[in-house]
Amino acid sequence: MNTANQYLKTIYLVQEIEDGPASTGAIAEMLDVSPASANEMVGKLEAKELCAHEKYKGVELTDEGILRARDALQNYCIIERFLYGVLDVEEFRAEAKQLEPVIDETVAERLDTIIDREPQCPDCFHAEADACALLETDAD
């Protein structure tokens, strides 16, 4: 997954948490980057019509941005479940975050063939916990 997709996924989750536009501060915090970096990437995504940024209000994904964000979120869920269910990784959440930039959607689709994923994915993703709520239940 490339950096742009990671941003789209983050904006999607922050919008869910804030139940409205996502502030660039919250986006930067979730991605652990500087607000300046977040602003720069939001500008690039806006130029591609994947989001709209209104000063003092925040960032909102366009329909196309939402589609891409949900795909990115689904890829992330696949990586989490693969690490947990196939490779038996204890710290699967932390490792999924590290690995997601290098696992492309075509690769994730292949990994998806050997894991059991819930049909409602990615709607089962818990934005505030930054993790799949159903997988948490399995693990706990």
Site for other proteins in 4-23 (CB under 8 A): 6, 9-10
Number of neighbouring beta carbons within 10 Å of residue 113 = 7
Comparison of 51 and 76: residue with beta carbon closer to other proteins? 76
Alpha-helical (H) ranges within the chain are 3-18, 24-31, 35-47, 63-85, 92-99, 105-112, 133-139
Cα 10 to Cα 5: distance, rounded to the nearest angstrom: 8
Q: Should residue 34 be labelled a site residue for other proteins when binding is judged by CB under 8 A?
A: no
134 binds other proteins (CB under 8 A): no
Question: Counting contacts by CB under 8 A, is residue 119 touching other proteins?
Answer: no
Q: How far is the CB of 93 from other proteins (least distance, A)?
A: 10
d(CA 13, CA 15): 5
Binding site for other proteins (CB under 8 A): 3, 6, 9-10, 30-33, 82-83, 86-89, 95, 97-104, 106-107, 109-111, 113-114, 130
